[in-house]
Structure 1
Amino acid sequence: MRSFERSTAIQARLHDLIPGGAHTYARGADQYPEQMAPILVRGKGARVWDVDGNEFVEYGMGLRSVTLGHGYEPVVRAATLAVADGMSFSRPTELELRAAQDFLDLVPGADMVKFAKNGSDATSAAVRLARAVTGRTTIAVCDQPFFSVDDWFIGTTDMAGGIPTVDTVKFAYNDLEALAATLAGDTVAAVFLEAATAMAEPLPGYLEGVRALCDRHGTLLVFDEMITGFRWAAGGAQAVYGVTPDLSCWGKAMGNGFPISALAGKREYMERGGLRTDHDRVFLLSTTHGPETASLAAFRAVVHAYRTEDPITRMEQAGRELADGVNSVAEGLGIAEYLQVRGRPSCLIFRTLDTEGLPSQAFRTLFLQELLEHGVLGQSFVTSAAHDADAIAATIAACAAAAPVYRRALERGAVDGLLRGRPVAPALRRTAAPRQIEASTYR
């Protein structure tokens, strides 16, 4: 068995100093098997190493923000050269112009762009802008996992503590009638949605119908391209499906791990946050670190890689090989109904079902436990261009070792005696796990 002794000690100390023990809920120890949450020290390509000396093939890759691989040399070099000349100034740099030109070349449906640091910076700026343009307050969000850490969205989740009533409504994906009903009263300022997800592609005519409904009701259409951008295509889902939103929000893979996000859109709307408008001005985005040079230089290097190296084809090929290999393992053991790899090849997830065919946190945890034991770290099978043949082969081998344990649990009807600790839990939930975090022994 692998040792996670030092990782476990550091994780306990993190709980002493940082609420939740991590700066992102999805990175929390409650998302991993008990006392098997690695504390990482470095990464290269598709592999990472922890404080206990364990090596893993990693998936998810920085919550989908790393598509070229950890420590990708051209990005590191570009950022390093930029830092040597200074990161932050009291006036714009030429780099801001170059980065904006690069971005708008990729996203021809947008006329203007403004950079920031976090995805929520961009989505919440889009909310303000849509409300100012329409004079309305209601925001309609698709029933998809996540759009912002800010009140207008978190107020709709199970972690709504500290948030007053929000004027946000939800609608179902791929259901034009549901959206039409939501927009019927002409009170909605903006419709937010991911044009596609790992498990859901738009039905023929759906996105075109969403566009038409927004036009009919005077509502702004906002695409969340945080995941689809640079993973479906460099120009995002809008480039794949041919539907142009009024505004779009970007982040994650833009900087291959460097902190950068963007709000892009039509000039008639974006100018309301500028100095060339006759309307009341909108406080669109104004951040100290939005234009810091390291991340803008990293972004430009990412753009160059997408223009010259075709990373999307590589990550999709890796995903197809991985899905075929793991699903073949499950089929060979007669458990293909319960253990499945599904989704877009560049954005795969694994489904872990119990004996009733229902999604199970306990069975998911058992699978995660066995993957970790055999050198694979990830809450999904989201690939990068750095997932080469060796990484895919190692992952399929790890799944081949994990699957018989999974089958034994199915035969028993439970994970009892196989799972070493408590199951994982949803990241966004109202109450903390019932088990108390152990006191820190790390010094």
Structure 2
Amino acid sequence: MTSLGDPDRSFVASTALQQRLHGLVPGGAHTYARGADQYPEGMAPVIARGEGAHVYDVDGNRYVEYGMGLRSVTLGHAHPPVVEAVVEAARTGVSFSRPSVYELRAAESFLEQVPGADMVKFAKNGSDVTTAAVRLARAATGRDLVALCRTQPFFSTDDWFIGTTEMDAGIPASQRDLTVAFDYDDLGSVERLLERHPGRVACVLLEAATGTAEPSPGFLEGLRALADRDGFVLVFDEIITGMRWSRHGAQGVYGVTPDLSTWGKALGNGFAVSALAGRRELMELGGLRTDAARTFLLSTTHGPETTGLAAQLAVAEAYRERDVVGVMERQGRRLADGANAAAESLGIAGSFAVVGRPSCQVFVTRDDLGRPSQEFRTLFLQEMLLRGVLGQSFVISAAHTDEDVDRTVEAVGEALTVYAKALAAGTCAGLLRGRPVAPALRRFAAPRRIPGPATG
């Protein structure tokens, strides 16, 4: 088995399986962010198993992993208490024709965790619960427009959001026209939006914070005041921030309570469970205790599956027993400090930096002219993979040990030595093995290759 520090890694088996996947699965993966086009060419590992902060690919390579299941794993892969809870639930039956006791237990546990919410509805993914929040807001207000934050990358796979991206093929203009946008941390842009569309905005939807953007004092409070004054529904997308900012979500950190919030990812430590939570008078529009026209809120066969809810209960217990967020923040700071010191020592701090909230960090890659660069990003990913670190980001988990972080910082220093050579040359040509990575949400699939040296 290849050790973490071996630069002569083979990806032969992974590449062969990836080609088979391309023949069977559109895009070769079930999530665009997991696609082979997001990794250096011929270096997209196919994972065989994971444990804690490490994963192993089909070639026998071992990696310290970051990103952790697209931010969904905070306790570490195959965390024993979660796995045991899921296995126990599976042995009692997974899906029934009536609610199981897991639904009650999970609802009580979740609502204790999110004190600003009165009711919760569980599902399997973030897109479904976020779209349910939009539908509920439209039903409650009688309005049609959805206002979302234009600088935040993803809210749902459904038409109301995907129609705002470059991958809008197949989505009618009538759907695209019902979504409008504002700028993060700019209350004036929201106010101007409301002025342009008086009485039409059903909800304002955003992440209260992101890995790289914290709200200025008064911004979230201002949104809450605008919602109370104008009548729109304020929705916080806590799919990422919930369980990474705190067990109570970003709303618990910033002290602003939305009308609705959507949760997922780390809620089950990678097991499929998501949640829509909110005020009773809104949530009951999809229930049986209302005289209003009922809203088709969420009705899913697999939403109350016992295994997902058992995972949620086990994760909640882990967060009560241990300061999981505190561990991630401490280890994330150690990683950022070490990586940024390495860049500083090489004189390239203006071209490479680890930024963001310590529990949810990303790395910034720029070229020799200071421009954001996919080519230089790919070069960094390539060199980190060769040194046993896998990750499109530095999103960490509570399973990352001091040894994992120290090894990662060492790999960063070595990778940035190569990065610095490319900066000095003004090109990655000759150092990058294949085409650069590309944005996951783009209009055309064709990869772009990095240009080679000019020939006469």
Structure 2 residue 429 is matched with structure 1 residue 416 = yes
Q: Distance in 2 between matches of 1:274 and 1:329?
A: 56
Question: In the alignment, is residue 116 of structure 1 matched against residue 116 of structure 2?
Answer: no
What residue is the counterpart of 2:154 in the other structure? 146
Equivalent position of 1:33 in the other structure: 40
- Are the counterparts in 1 of residues 435 and 447 from structure 2 also a CA contact under 8 Å? no
Partner secondary structure for residue 200 of structure 1? coil
The corresponding residue for 1:175 is 186
**One-letter amino acid matched to 1:374:** R
TM-fit CA distance, 1:435: 6.5
Match of residue 164, structure 1, among 168, 172, 177: 172
| Distance in 1, Cα, partners of 2:447 & 2:189 | 38
Query: Which residue identity lines up with residue 47 of structure 1 in the other structure?
Result: H
Q: Note if contact 2:438-2:447 (Cα within 8 Å) is conserved in structure 1.
A: no
2:20 counterpart (13, 36, 48): 13
Residues in 1 aligned to 2:283 and 2:272: alpha-carbon distance in whole angstroms: 22
Secondary structure of residue in 1 paired with 2:189: helix
Alignment of 1:38-437 (within 5 A): 38-143=45-150, 144-165=152-173, 166=176, 167-184=178-195, 185-434=198-447
Q: Deviations over 1:75-113 (max 9, x none)?
A: 000000000010000000111001000000011110000
In structure 2, distance between residues paired with 1:101 and 1:349: 34
Query: Which moves more between the two structures, 372-381 or 397-406?
Result: 397-406
Identical counterparts, % of pairs? 66
> Residues of 2 paired with 1:295 and 1:59: CA distance?
23
CA contact (8 A) 2:436 2:448 kept: no
The AA in structure 2 aligned to 1:396 is: V
Cα distance in 2 for partners of 1:170, 1:379 equals 27
| Residues in 2 aligned to 1:149 and 1:415: alpha-carbon distance in whole angstroms | 34
Paired residue type of 1:71: A
Distance 1:63 1:375 in 2: 19
- Return the alpha-carbon distance in structure 2 between the equivalents of residues 187 and 291 of structure 1: 34
Contact 2:130 2:155 in 1 (8 A): yes
When the two chains are superposed, the root-mean-square deviation of aligned CA atoms in Å is 0.8
SS at match of 2:211: coil
Stretch moving more, 394-403 or 284-293: 394-403
- Residue 423 of structure 1 aligns to a residue whose secondary structure is coil
**How far off its partner does 1:433 sit?**
2.1
What number of residue pairs does the alignment pair up? 436
Contact 2:39 2:378 in 1 (8 A): yes
3-state DSSP of counterpart to 2:343: helix
Aligned residue identity for 1:148: S
Q: How far has the Cα of 1:434 moved from its partner?
A: 3.9
Once the two structures are TM-superposed, the CA of residue 32 in structure 1 deviates from its matched residue by 0.2
Quote how far apart the aligned CAs of 1:154 are: 0.1
Equivalent-residue separation in structure 2 for 1:242 and 1:366 (angstroms): 41
1:217 deviates by 1.0
Q: How far apart in 2 are the matches of 1:432 and 1:153?
A: 20
Distance 2:120 2:316 in 1: 15
Alpha-carbon distance, 1:39 to partner: 0.2
Q: Distance in 1 between matches of 2:323 and 2:225?
A: 33
Question: What's the CA shift for 1:397?
Answer: 1.0
Amino acid in structure 1 at the alignment position of 2:189: A
Letter aligned with residue 355 of structure 2: R
Letter of the 2:381 partner, please give it: L
Structure-1-length-normalised TM-score: 0.98
Match of 1:2 in 2: 9
CA distance in 1, matches of 2:326, 2:447: 44
The AA in structure 2 aligned to 1:34 is E
Any stretches of 5+ residues in structure 2 without a counterpart? 1-7, 450-456
**For residues 219 and 247 of structure 2, what CA distance do their matches in structure 1 show?**
22
* DSSP-derived class of the 2:407 partner: helix
